Amino acid sequence: MAEATKTKTIKFIITRQDSPDSQSYEEEFEIPYRKNMNVISALMEIRRNPVNAKGEETAPVNWEMGCLEEVCGACSMVINGKPRQSCTALIDQLEQPVRLEPMNTFPVVRDLEVDRRRMFDSLKKVKAWTPIDGTHDLGPGERMAESRRQWAYELSKCMTCGVCLEACPNVNSNANFIGPAALSQVRLHNATPNGSLHKAERMAAVTGDGGLQNCGNSQNCVQSCPKGIPLTTSIAALNREATVQSFKSFFGSDHNQ
Amino acid sequence: MADNREFFYRRLHSLLGVIPIGLFLMQHLTVNFFSTYGPEAFNNAAGFMENLPLRLGLEIFVIYLPLLFHAIYGVFIAFTAEPNTIRYGFFRNWMFLVQRITGILTLIFIAWHVWETRLANAIYGTEINFDLMASILSDPIMFWFYIIGVVSAVFHFANGLWSFFVTWGLTISPKSQLVMTYITIAIFAVFTYMGISSLIAFAS
Ligand code: SF4
Ligand code: FES
């Protein structure tokens, strides 16, 4: 701090990777400080003038972004050891040097950009949607109690950012666990009146390979989710549902879903 | 059931850990605790267990088979995780890691323990009584090996019981899970106390 009298600067150590298969390496940057910067505006500054801390020209750092207000999840990366959204990571609140790394649970596309396709595949796999179209007009949906709607709204805040998968010790290259986010979406869609019509299908999908049962209760997800989604409560609730379903399907009659 | 074999195995793994293995562990530690009342009390309690009718059948279906499945599948589960407590030092994440470490330790301990007692009895006719344990535990290395083994087993059971309640959907809310954390800590404390005092009674 003391020597930064003339122009205050911000130091970055960024983990870079030129292509999906190449080795990663670290590169340091030092950029002029401006008021109210976030990690994204700092990355934009590097892009404007792609010179590293040694003064060498380098390729601009690649990252992904969308909404810039923490609702799309695209800009997630590991900042000072924590996976979070870079658009809401304010420089003034970060310790320096600021370390940026990609979320390694996902395949790295380039530098800080990762491919979160497995999350979208998981949502498809567990049918995390509510069918509302048909060959004829299905009519309006049933009303929900306001208190229940408010509760469900919290679950619907998931932006598929991937932070919970990055934090989960059971989501890794040895395992095909779909991770907490998709599980919580199953609970959401099972809970709405229209969505509940397809509950049995979702439960079958979510107890399939790589599903619910892979949770090892480390509970890192609920501690890390930027949207405060009660992931472990969702998982335990689905566990209860799965227990009931398996009893029904084993001991029950031939039409219980 | 056909397409969710993994679900079935996981749930079976969780169930067997508590019923019968966990129940057996508690019963075993209770019998051992008689050693603190003296050799005779222990020999009587152990003798009662030894003379249960259909003992071999009970052992096979209540202990060996469940234990084998739980152990083999458990090792597989343990080694598919990538622990990350350095970055995420939350309490439950530590429990997650320690659960896997104590699982492996308990497996090593039980293999040795079964060999030294039950198998030695079956193969060489070694008599299982207070004196056998006293002579094993007179070696300080063995004594500490048993301490680590017993504490690991009790931890693995207590924390596993916590997970069991989540896995079967019995404790859903964070509050109920927290209460269960306290209950399982109490279970850990009680059985650790019983296990360690039995070992000390044998050794002294
Ligand atoms: S549950 Fe939370 S951490 Fe996980 S993807 Fe959704 S918003 Fe991100
Ligand atoms: S850019 Fe959408 S969450 Fe950051």
Confirm if B164 and A235 have CB atoms less than 8 A apart: no
Q: Each residue of B73-104: pLDDT tens digit?
A: 999 999 999 999 999 999 999 999 999 999 99
User: Most B CBs within 10 Å: which of A213, A224, A250, as the mutation test of the B interface?
Assistant: A213
pLDDT exceeds 90 at position A240: yes
Q: Enumerate residues 6+ apart whose C-beta is below 8 A from B78.
A: B100, B103, B104
- Token digits for B150? 């017993």
Q: Is A8 helix (H, G, I), strand (E, B) or coil?
A: coil
CB A69 within 8 A of CB A75: no
Residue B13 is assigned to a ligand binding site: no
Across the interface, whether the CB atoms of B93 and A220 are under 8 A apart is answered: yes
Q: Taking CA B81 as the corner, what is the angle to CA B79 and CA B82, rounded to the nearest 5 degrees?
A: 110
Q: For the packed helices B140-167 and B130-137, what is the interaxial angle rounded to 10 degrees?
A: 110
d(CA A212, CA A210): 7
Alpha carbons A183 and A235: distance in angstroms, whole number: 7
pLDDT at B1: 45
Ligand 1 atom nearest residue A163's Cα: 3
- Closest partner residue to A240 (CB to CB) among B88, B162, B169 is B169
- Angstrom distance (rounded) from CA A147 to CA B87: 37
Q: Tell me, what's the pLDDT at B148?
A: 98
Is the CB of residue A101 less than 8 Å from the CB of residue A86?
no
Give yes or no for residue A21 having a pLDDT over 70.
yes
Percent of chain A, pLDDT > 90? 85
**Residue A97 DSSP symbol:** S
Return the residue of B nearest to A234 by Cα.
Answer: B172
* Whether A37 contacts A90, CB under 8 Å: yes
A105 in contact with B at a CB cutoff of 8 Å? no
- Amino acid B3: pLDDT: 61
- In this predicted structure, what is the pLDDT of residue B91? 97
pLDDT of residue A133: 80
CB of A162 sitting under 6 A from ligand 2:
no
- pLDDT for residue A137: 82
Mutate to test the interface with B, among A99, A190, A220, A249 (most CBs of B within 10 A): A220
Regions of chain B short of the pLDDT cut 50:
1-2
Here the tokens at position A7 are 């122009």
Q: What contacts A98, CB < 8 A, 6 or more positions away? A: A10, A11, A12, A13, A39, A42, A79, A80, A91
CA distance A49 to chain B (A): 32
Task: Please report the domains of chain B, with CATH numbers, ordered by start residue.
Answer: 2-203 (1.20.1300.10)
SS3 state of residue B154:
helix
* A3, pLDDT greater than 90: no
Interval A142-200: pLDDT, tens: 899 999 999 999 999 999 999 999 999 999 988 899 999 999 999 999 999 999 999 99
Contact A236 B177 (CB under 8 A): yes
Non-local CB neighbours of B108 within 8 Å, separated by 6+ positions: B149
Name residue A82's beta-bridge partners.
Answer: A79
Q: Which of A82, A174, A239 sits opposite B168 (nearest CB)?
A: A239
Q: Nearest-CA distance from B99 to chain A in Å?
A: 10
Instruction: Answer for the pair A218, B92: CB distance below 8 angstroms, yes or no.
Output: yes
Q: Nearest CB to B6: which of A167, A209, A249?
A: A209
For residue B21, give the DSSP letter: I
DSSP-derived letter for residue B139 is: S
Least distant ligand from the CA of A70: 2
Residue B110's SS3 state is helix
What digits encode the pLDDT tens for the residues A79-116?
999 999 999 999 999 999 999 999 999 999 999 999 99
Cα–Cα distance between B130 and B170 in angstroms, integer? 40
- Measure the CA–CA gap between B169 and B167, rounded to whole angstroms: 5
- pLDDT averaged over every residue in chain A: 93
pLDDT value of residue B2? 45
- The pLDDT value recorded for residue A4 is 47
Find all residues with CB under 8 Å of A41, minimum gap 6, and list them. A34
Chain B neighbors of A223, CB-CB under 8 A: 88, 90
Pocket test for ligand 2, best of A44, A63, A75 (most atoms within 8 A of CB): A75
Residue B1 Cα, gap to closest chain A Cα (Å): 9
Domains with residue ranges and CATH for chain A: 2-114 (3.10.20.30), 117-250 (1.10.1060.10)
User: Cβ(A12)–Cβ(A40) under 8 Å?
Assistant: no
Does residue A111 sit in helix, strand or coil? Answer: coil
Arithmetic mean of pLDDT, A37-48:
96
* Selection from A173, A169, A247, A250 nearest residue A215 by Cα: A169
Query: At residue A18, what are phi and psi to the nearest 5 degrees?
Result: -75, -30
CB A235 within 8 A of CB A180: yes
Pull the structure tokens for residue A225: 């989710």
